[in-house]
Structures are given as C-alpha cells and as structure tokens.
Structure 1
C-alpha cells in the first residue's frame, strides 16, 4: 500500500493510473457519470449508496476483515478472526484497491460511509461509550459464570446472533434485570442491548465462530459420467417443449390477462398438452418469452402469439436454437419458479409482471459460477451451492434468506446447461462467455432420416429426426412418448391435420415410404387412404362464402345440423350451399363437427386458409438494470478526464482563496452536506446566484431537508438557505 495520506481524498489522489483502473473495475458505478476530478471521485466513493453497493459485492472473508477493522483496527484483525496476518493483509490490500479502506496517519481506516452501512459489525452492539455506560468487559466472563440458568441461556442465544432483544413478561423481565445487574446488558426504552466490548469478551475475543476461509468444495471421489450426453438429451427435450407450446399458441392463442400474464387455466393446459408438471410448463413458457419467441400482440383483446423471431429461430439447426434459449435464460431477469406462488395480491401468473425478479440474473450467474469453480465432472450438491452463495453474498443472503439455488439448478438441468449435477461442456462455455452452440453441437446425436413404422399405427424415431422428417411427423402424427427414442401414433385427426395443411395423401405415403426401411404397414396405408377419401369432399369458397359437394346427402346433413345453425347455411343449388360467415370460420366449424372440408380459390384449385398467420411484434429485450462492469476503454477515458479535471481544478485553486471546489453531482452534494451538518463542520461550497454567476463561500450547514440546506456564512454567521441544485460543488475546509 502507499504511504499514509491526510484524508480519503488525498489517498485517491496519490493513486497511479493502474490503481485507479483497479478501483473503477471493482466499483463501476463510480464511472457513471464521469466525475469532474479526483476530489469529486473521492466524494462519490464515500457516499452511502456507492459504499453499500460495493459492500454487497464483498465475500464473507473480505466483509469480516472490514468488520474487524471497524471494531478495533487492522493490527487486531488477525486475532479477532483467528487468521494469519499475511492473509488479513492480502484482504486489506483488496479492500484498499476498492477504496473501502484508506491509509491514514494513524493506520488503515475504513471509508467514512462504511460505518453508516455496517451499523452492527459482526452482529455486535454499540460501544459502551455510545451507550453511556462504563466498560465492564474485563468482568464479563466472571459475571457470566454467576448467572442463573435462565439468564445464561438468554445470553447464550444473543451473544453470537444479535446484540439486542426484547424481554416481555414477568419472567423475562426478571432475566433482564439480572443481566443488567451483572453488567452484561444495558437497559434501553423497550429492550436490552449487549455493549460491544462485553459481547466480544463473551465470544472469547473472536468475531465469528469460524474463520475467513470459504466453503470447501467437494472432492473428486465421485465422477459424473456422460454428463454431456445427458445435457444433450435435456436440450432436445426443451427444444421440443418450446416448439410444441409455440405451435399450439399459433393455432389457438391464449388471452392475456387484464393484469398481464397467462391465466391459471391456460397454464394447466400447457402442462397437460406437454405431459409435464406445472413447474416445467411455467419454465418452458417463460423461456420462450425470454427468447422473444412469444409476445403480447397488443391487440384490442390481446393474446399471446408467436413473433417473427420464432419463424427465424425455427429455421436454424438444433444447436443454434438451443444456444439462443440458453443465452436468453442466462440474461433474463424473470423467475419462472415463482409462478403459482401466492402473495397478498393473489397468485403469481406465468408471464405476469410479478414473475420478474431483478436479482434473478445475478443469482443465476452466482449459482453457475459456483459450479464452474469446482473440478469438472465432480457432482455438486445443493447444500454446497447454498453455502457458497451465502459466503460470496453475505449481505444479500443473511441467515434464513432463501438462496433459490435448488430452483436455479433445476432449471439448468431442464435446459441442459448441467447434466448429472455437473456443468456440461456447453454450460461451461455459456458461463465463460464462449459460444455454447459449438459445444452443444458436438454433444448432440446426429439426426436420423428414417423411421420404424409399426403395424399398430405407431412409428419409432430412434433419435432426433432431420428437420424435414420432423416437420412431417409433427403434421401427420401425435407424440405418444419421448426418451432415447420417440414414439409417434397416427390417428384420423393427425392424418386429417396433414391433409388440411395442404399435403396430398400421395405425397404423405411417398414420404413415409422413403423414410421407412421396411414397407409401409397395411393398416397405416388403409388409414391414410380412408381419411383422404373423405377429405375434401366439401369445398369452401370466398363468395361470402359458398360450399359445394357432389354428395347431396352430405349437404343435406350440413343444412339440417343444428350445431351449424350459426353459419346460416342456405342451399342455392342441389350441390351448392352458401353462408354469410367468413370462409375460415366455416372451415373451422365444419372440421370441428367432422365434415373434413378443404378451401378452394376462385379457379377451383385447393388453397390453404390461414397461411398469412398473425404474428406479435418482437418485444425489446428488457435486461435488468446493471452496473456490473465497464469496458477498459471507458475506464481509460474516465481516468483521462479525471487527470484533466485535476489540473484544471489546481489552476482555479491557485487563483482563489480556500481549497479547490470540485464539481459534484446533486447526490454527492447532498451526502457531503448531510455529513457536514451531522459533524457541525464547515465546508467550502460553490454556488450560482439568481443571475447565474458563480461564487464560493465558507458555509456551516445546520439542516438539510427538502432539497434545501440551511446554515451560516461569513464572520457574522449570517443565516442562508441554498437550493441543492444551485450548489455546483462541495469541498472540506
């Protein structure tokens, strides 16, 4: 570390460009917007908001060393933590790099706002001096041994967990009186508090039961085999699930709730259609939404529809499609596992606003980084990931707060980022910022171009099918089971669906014949021929519309069918019936009642109705707000700006009385004035008058409230009130 400095600002001014780069990388919020000079940087780095953000990123080891410095000093930290002096010094250097410690003439000291954020370091109470009582720490152990059982039990529960407690009831009041009489507790208005010195003595001079070492990772006793193969199988499953949901919503889009999101009924419909649990159904739906494959169409009666991005995504190969989903999940700020949970406002719906959780992106990345730091092929238990998260984010995850590590790991397994409880090769590439598609492409089995057709109207795909064959089977068959092989079943409805889509029966038979190494079974051939014979007898045109059929009996059945009364069918010729309804409506209702019509154009040729499918607009990718990082180029620009500002400030200071006053933004100005008012200290301020002219004066702030600061200026202590927005900068006297 450098030599001691007179102040925190001088400590920052003495840093080299490389040291400033280290600081700005660790605390990127200091760069936005760029400070005017190093004095302004010091002011911003010492604000409560910036310090709190920096402390949130500290691991438990670094936080405990900082707490030890707060409780005593750097020299006492090794003894307080039971750690080696070299280890503590290394951590102190890291804390100095982040401007959370600075070198004062009296030794290493925390930045001023650290004490404002860590009001109870290591869960210790206020000092005896702050409580206005004498220091009785030397007699604490003796007094502890003389306590009754109830009082000793109470102090045992408090000394490591919390310094303050309420004592309600006669028996508890007697315990409080005993502890106060013993000097172990100080009575306050409504509770009792353990003085810091007494609490430390009761702990045996240690801040924590354990030291400053992170959780021990699992050893290599167990090795997960075929993790990449398991990951690839999960990736193919999730692709199939996403495609199934989007295709289903393409033909029957669900409504958007008035409050946003998907209704519980539609959520269950998705789970039933996929044959999965509600949690996986919610994850698949949220994943498609995160990848911009589905969106709110914004109509007068809005629905969830596929977007144009889905059409582009569906044309890519499986590895690229999976990579798009994995990348969207990695960057998403939504928590699918919250769907179905109850709140005071009601149930959280899939795709609803309450399923968004700003911390989800960071939590997801913390979990996968914990897996990456373990030896490859070593399975990791949820308990270890929980411990790592609490160690790396002690302020965000105090004891008792849920980590949701199990939820993240379950989603990672569904997506194929992990396999057999280890990070797959593709998952490791995603975490490291490499291309996950290439890693997944090598893990996925090669697509097959053949089917095993069975006489019981089923077909077995021995692996993932080629794109053309997969599209054919989606059109003409239903998935009966999935696994290492996929079993399809041909039905009347599935064959009719293929014919409705414009695929002729002859072409369907030909494609199945080419794809099967054995002849097409006779039952399947008969099924296709029978459905084709009945298919297309009734034709719907666009003249308002009309229906024509050479089978007069079929037209008689239609006109007399009470379920088709809404179509207002009217015969105009023995083989022609007209309806005022739209052709698409007529087609849909006739198909629902088993008449198997097809559409034809004005020239009598078969056409497909609904080819021009509605698409929702592709939503903007809404990433959670983050200040996680800043580029090296931006840091170099900020440092150059700081150096130039420092030179300009020095020139101005040489021409005027008093110290140089940096330009500070309103947030920093407000924080500095509040600190000066609390300390009854004078500061130099630069301000603009009603004419816009700049002035400087020595100011004694007394009260900061409502965007204004009131205090005294000049030798006569004249009371003045300034608006915060008129103050251009603040500097210590």
Structure 2
C-alpha cells in the first residue's frame, strides 16, 4: 500500500472490495445497521462492543499477538512484532489485519485506540512506556543488590511499593538514579515497558501458545457411548415429564425476584429422584422449551405446550429441548452457587454472555476427538485455548455435565445422537434406539407396582397421580399409599374409577389390601371441605344478612352464606367495607 493512511478510517477506505468483504464476514456486527461511510465504519469497528466480539473470536495464540501489538510503540513494523513474539506471527498478522484489530500505516501497523483500553495499561504485566528514549545498555551495569528487585518486577506486576520515594534504599535508589525504574508517586515505582521486554529476553510472553493442547482421556467404542447416551435421553425425558406433572399437582409460588425457591426445589428434586443441581437444570430446560411458566398469580405451572409436547414422538420431544440448550445463554450450574444470595432456577440472574460460544467450542473439541472420554482438566485447557476471553473452568465442567444428562454425550464422549444434533441431521436415530414403551404394570401384594419398561406418556401421567415412584432403572417401582390415592381423588376420580383403571392396566390381579385401601380412602374423601375467604360479614339480625345477600348492588362482592348470621367474600376487607357503606349499609370493622 503506497498511500499513507493516517487514521483507521483512511486505511479502511484504501482496502479492496475483497478485503472489506472479508472484514464483514469476520465481523458481521459491523453491518448492523449498514454504516453511512468509512468514518462511521471505523468508529463502529473501534467501538468497545464490536471489539469485544472480535476478541471473543480469537484463539489464545492470536490473542497473545494482540497483547504484544498493544505492548510495543506505534507505529510498529511487522519485523518488530515478530521480534517480540515468534516467526510464526507472520500468519497471525494477516488474520488480525483482516479482522481490523490492527491496521496499516504505510509499511507499518497501528492498533485501534479502544483496543489498547480493552487490553489494559499494563499488557502481559508490562509497565508504562518510558517517557523518552530508554537506554537499555544500563541493564549491563545493574549491581547484584538491584537484580533481585528487577527479578520481582520483570514478569509483573511491574509496579512496586516503597515507604518513601525520597529514601528508597540502595538497591531501588540505584535503579531510580539510572532511570531503569521510574517513580509513579511518592510510594510507587514502576519498571518501564522497554526494560521489561529486554529483561524478558526480548519477548513479551514467557511462553507462546501457538497450538492447542492435545486432548487426553479414555478410549471408548461408539457402541458403549451410544448405549449410555440413549439411557440418558430416556431418563431426561422422564425427568421432564415427572417434574411438569408434579408442578401441575403442587404448583409452587415463585419468589418475589422470580424463580423457584430452595424448599420447592428440594421437594421437586426428591420427587423426581435427583439432586438439586439436576432438578434445577431440568426446570430450566422445561422453561427454555416453553413447557412451564410463571403465571400472573406467581404460580409456576405447566403450559398448554406441555400437552402438545407429550403427543410428539420421543425424538421430536428431545430435539425440541436439546437444540434450545445448545443456543441458550443461561447457566443452570450457577443455581445455588452465589455466596451472597441464592440464585434460583427460572430467575433472571442465570444469563451469561458467551456461554453459547463455550458450548459450541466444547462440542467441537469432542467432535474432533471421537470415542474419547476426556479428562476434564485437559478439555478445559483446550477450550480455554480456543476461547481465552470467555472460557471458564466451571462453565466448561457444567456444560459437560448437562450434555451428559441430555444424552448429547455418553460416558463423557460425543454420542451419535449428539453428532446428528450438531450437524442438523434430519434423522437423529433416537426413535429406533429407545426401548419401546409398555402399556401395562404388575401390581404386587405389598401395594407396589412394577412397570417393566418406560410407560406410555398417558399411562405414566396417570400412575404419577395415583402412586409415588419408589425406585427407577430398567423397571420403575411405584408405591400406592393413602396420600397417593387421595391425590387421585383430588384430581376428580372416584374410587371405582381408580379400581377399574388399575385392573385394566395390570397384568396381575389387584390385591385385596389395595382394594380395601382405595375403598376406605374414597369413603372418607370429601367429608370435610376447605374453602377460601378474604373477609366476612357477621350480623345478629338475619333479615339484614338476607337483604345484603340478595341486594343486586352487592352481587359483584360474590357473597356466600356459611351460617344464618355470617357471609363471606373473596374480596379484601377494606373493599367490602367501602362498597357496603356506598350502598347505604353501616358496617364496622
């Protein structure tokens, strides 16, 4: 490029159409909306949000080159950047230029202004640039007593604290007198950047991570992986159904800040037979899929979409949840982890930027290392190499755990179903691999029942209402109790209907103790009724009570007579008093 480009906008203006197309491909946010001119394009490319996105796309090696570029004086030659990094940097420079993270100024390069602010004032632990020309030859004359000071500051942090700049001591005093250290204030000295790089052997980094580390782990066969994964898929579908049916039976009240409270989460976890971390994840998964909602009364309930979801085939049901998990920015692993307050499932505190990127990278690593169950530390180091800005060890570990729960992995390795999900295959292969659902149970003499396989959705829902799950596995064991039978009656069934249903679906005869239990509970059920009232009206004069009850002006108060001298209403006390006074009555609170 023969023409000098004094500004970033000038340099962008001089780029060819193909170079601009490459920039927009690598940084699509620059086109939303389309900039009016090159000055607007440069301003957007230099904006903090856009630069953060660009940095997020870098692997560790390229990020280290950006750090190095921000460490040396500008404008810098390509050879100067290579000198403080590595000969392989030649290939990285072209990529960074295409991204707009460096730009050309004649035969030299500069970095966008805001990029330096993002990298920081002390990149890679290097101190401030020396004000003037640094005499690096003075490092040859450093006395032994001062070498220890420089050793502490060389790899950062580059600042040191002293008691008094006027009385620094012999070792620091010599360094100050020879301008190898510079005073920052009366108690702080710093090692200038040029001296720091020289002391580091002319390099910015102690070690350049040019290549991603190799993945280490245990070798498995794809058959082993898929067997584990399909069991996980079957299990996670059952967890979702059981959780949603339980919320329908016993809807918890959402916290004021939104989400499920600790007690309700423990109860749900106990009901579906998992720990609270897993229960929180399942609740989040159903929430993502639109299968549950916090209604206007703050009740957490299944939606009508749950009924439609149950009618779909298992592969479609699983896909609808798994694909949303891939794209989600919510981190279920944070549930209950905060030290200052509890983070609740369905709450607003679970969103984290960059989580989707970490998931994609994690699964990409597994895809490139098939049939390997990785060691978690090895996987974390690789993902952090690809996403140095966003990767978090906890997030990576939680992603792997959730992928296992979902069946995207089996025993930690990517399953066939996970591969098909990532590649957007039309057929995932789940339908053929899942065990066929059964439509019967085996009632035992001890008031238990065994389902010899996964029950059909309709049967599972009915059994979940009439009995409690005692154990899970290849076969599910249900337990009938007074509480579970009463739950069925509360759902509108009669004792005879329960007996008929169980007789129809059981391959074994109904034992007499269970028959007696159902009959006894049904006989006693409903004798005592409980209702709800917010306020009452009591008057010794029954005629006035009757007058109020039949007064058309009072109809909207929904008054009910529960005794000759007592009426109750669903409205609050203050509203009932106000209305009665308006209609000519003179109540007292």
Report the TM-score, using the length of structure 1 for normalisation: 0.64
Q: Residue 285 in 1 paired to residue 283 in 2?
A: yes
- CA distance in 1 between counterparts of 2:396 and 2:163 reads 37
Which position in structure 1 is the counterpart of 2:505?
A: 512
- CA distance in 1 between counterparts of 2:337 and 2:208 reads 38
Note the alpha carbon deviations across 1:462-521, whole angstroms, 9 max, x for none.
Answer: 4323334434433443211112332223344445545655372453244334xx3xxx15
Which position in structure 1 is the counterpart of 2:541?
A: none
From 464, 482, 490, give the equivalent of 2:480: 490
Q: Secondary structure at the match of 1:242?
A: helix
Please give the residue correspondences for 1:325-724 in structure 2 after superposition, counting only pairs within 5 Å.
325-344=321-340, 346-372=341-367, 374-396=368-390, 404-434=395-425, 438-495=428-485, 497-498=487-488, 501-502=492-493, 504-505=497-498, 507-513=500-506, 516=507, 520-521=508-509, 524-534=510-520, 536-537=522-523
**Cα distance 1:566–1:60, how it changes in 2: closer, same or farther (>3 A)?**
closer
- CA distance in 1 between counterparts of 2:530 and 2:63 reads 74
Conserved? CA contact 1:215–1:384, under 8 Å: no
**Cα distance 1:62–1:507, how it changes in 2: closer, same or farther (>3 A)?**
same
Please give the residue correspondences for 1:221-240 in structure 2 after superposition, counting only pairs within 5 Å.
222-223=219-220, 226-240=224-238
- CA distance in 1 between counterparts of 2:212 and 2:140 reads 32
Report the alpha carbon displacement of residue 287 of structure 1 after superposing the two structures with TM. Answer: 1.9
Q: Secondary structure at the match of 1:511?
A: helix
Report the alpha carbon displacement of residue 376 of structure 1 after superposing the two structures with TM. Answer: 0.9
Which position in structure 1 is the counterpart of 2:161?
A: 166
Q: Secondary structure at the match of 1:305?
A: strand
Q: Secondary structure at the match of 2:428?
A: helix
Please give the residue correspondences for 1:42-57 in structure 2 after superposition, counting only pairs within 5 Å.
42-57=42-57
Conserved? CA contact 1:137–1:198, under 8 Å: yes
Which position in structure 1 is the counterpart of 2:587?
A: none
Which position in structure 1 is the counterpart of 2:211?
A: 214
Report the alpha carbon displacement of residue 203 of structure 1 after superposing the two structures with TM. Answer: 0.8
Note the alpha carbon deviations across 1:189-223, whole angstroms, 9 max, x for none.
Answer: 14221111111111111222222423322258623
Q: Secondary structure at the match of 2:469?
A: strand
Question: What is the aligned residue count?
Answer: 523
Q: Residue 9 in 1 paired to residue 4 in 2?
A: no
**Cα distance 1:501–1:178, how it changes in 2: closer, same or farther (>3 A)?**
farther
Conserved? CA contact 1:224–1:379, under 8 Å: no
Conserved? CA contact 1:224–1:422, under 8 Å: no
Which position in structure 1 is the counterpart of 2:93?
A: 92
- CA distance in 2 between counterparts of 1:141 and 1:330 reads 57
Which position in structure 2 is the counterpart of 1:58?
A: 58
Please give the residue correspondences for 1:29-48 in structure 2 after superposition, counting only pairs within 5 Å.
29-48=29-48
- CA distance in 1 between counterparts of 2:300 and 2:444 reads 38
From 185, 189, 193, give the equivalent of 1:192: 189
- CA distance in 2 between counterparts of 1:283 and 1:537 reads 41
Report the alpha carbon displacement of residue 356 of structure 1 after superposing the two structures with TM. Answer: 3.0
Conserved? CA contact 2:216–2:375, under 8 Å: no
Report the alpha carbon displacement of residue 246 of structure 1 after superposing the two structures with TM. Answer: 1.6
Q: Secondary structure at the match of 2:244?
A: helix
From 144, 147, 156, give the equivalent of 2:151: 156
- CA distance in 1 between counterparts of 2:180 and 2:53 reads 35
**Cα distance 1:476–1:114, how it changes in 2: closer, same or farther (>3 A)?**
closer
Conserved? CA contact 1:100–1:111, under 8 Å: yes
Report the alpha carbon displacement of residue 538 of structure 1 after superposing the two structures with TM. Answer: 6.8
Conserved? CA contact 1:381–1:421, under 8 Å: no
Which position in structure 2 is the counterpart of 1:80?
A: 84
Which position in structure 2 is the counterpart of 1:656?
A: none
Conserved? CA contact 2:499–2:518, under 8 Å: no
- CA distance in 1 between counterparts of 2:325 and 2:101 reads 34
Report the alpha carbon displacement of residue 110 of structure 1 after superposing the two structures with TM. Answer: 3.1
- CA distance in 2 between counterparts of 1:270 and 1:444 reads 26
Report the alpha carbon displacement of residue 153 of structure 1 after superposing the two structures with TM. Answer: 5.0
Conserved? CA contact 2:159–2:191, under 8 Å: yes
- CA distance in 2 between counterparts of 1:103 and 1:327 reads 42
Q: Residue 313 in 1 paired to residue 309 in 2?
A: yes
Where do 5+ consecutive residues of structure 2 fail to align? 534-559, 563-589
- CA distance in 1 between counterparts of 2:149 and 2:275 reads 47
Conserved? CA contact 1:124–1:162, under 8 Å: yes
Q: Secondary structure at the match of 1:445?
A: coil
Which position in structure 2 is the counterpart of 1:257?
A: 255
Report the alpha carbon displacement of residue 152 of structure 1 after superposing the two structures with TM. Answer: 4.7
Please give the residue correspondences for 1:16-35 in structure 2 after superposition, counting only pairs within 5 Å.
16-35=16-35
Report the alpha carbon displacement of residue 377 of structure 1 after superposing the two structures with TM. Answer: 0.9
**Cα distance 1:446–1:566, how it changes in 2: closer, same or farther (>3 A)?**
closer
- CA distance in 2 between counterparts of 1:97 and 1:442 reads 47
Report the alpha carbon displacement of residue 387 of structure 1 after superposing the two structures with TM. Answer: 1.8
Which position in structure 1 is the counterpart of 2:538?
A: none
**Cα distance 1:152–1:266, how it changes in 2: closer, same or farther (>3 A)?**
farther
Note the alpha carbon deviations across 1:319-341, whole angstroms, 9 max, x for none.
Answer: 22222222232222322222223
Conserved? CA contact 1:235–1:414, under 8 Å: yes
- CA distance in 2 between counterparts of 1:266 and 1:525 reads 35
- CA distance in 2 between counterparts of 1:421 and 1:566 reads 52
Conserved? CA contact 2:329–2:353, under 8 Å: yes
- CA distance in 2 between counterparts of 1:127 and 1:193 reads 10
- CA distance in 2 between counterparts of 1:483 and 1:168 reads 68
**Cα distance 1:469–1:274, how it changes in 2: closer, same or farther (>3 A)?**
closer
Report the alpha carbon displacement of residue 343 of structure 1 after superposing the two structures with TM. Answer: 4.7
Q: Output the aligned Cα RMSD.
A: 3.4
- CA distance in 2 between counterparts of 1:292 and 1:264 reads 22
Q: Secondary structure at the match of 1:288?
A: helix
Conserved? CA contact 1:224–1:420, under 8 Å: no
Conserved? CA contact 1:319–1:438, under 8 Å: yes
Which position in structure 2 is the counterpart of 1:644?
A: none
Report the TM-score, using the length of structure 2 for normalisation: 0.78
- CA distance in 2 between counterparts of 1:224 and 1:286 reads 32
Conserved? CA contact 2:240–2:286, under 8 Å: yes
- CA distance in 2 between counterparts of 1:236 and 1:168 reads 67
Q: Secondary structure at the match of 1:40?
A: helix
Q: Secondary structure at the match of 2:134?
A: coil
**Cα distance 1:395–1:350, how it changes in 2: closer, same or farther (>3 A)?**
closer
Conserved? CA contact 1:459–1:487, under 8 Å: yes
- CA distance in 2 between counterparts of 1:506 and 1:342 reads 49
Q: Secondary structure at the match of 1:487?
A: strand
Which position in structure 2 is the counterpart of 1:204?
A: 201
- CA distance in 2 between counterparts of 1:257 and 1:220 reads 42
- CA distance in 2 between counterparts of 1:421 and 1:505 reads 43
Note the alpha carbon deviations across 1:210-248, whole angstroms, 9 max, x for none.
Answer: 224233222586235511221222222222222222212
Note the alpha carbon deviations across 1:646-701, whole angstroms, 9 max, x for none.
Answer: xxxxxxxxxxxxxxxxxxxxxxxxxxxxxxxxxxxxxxxxxxxxxxxxxxxxxxxx
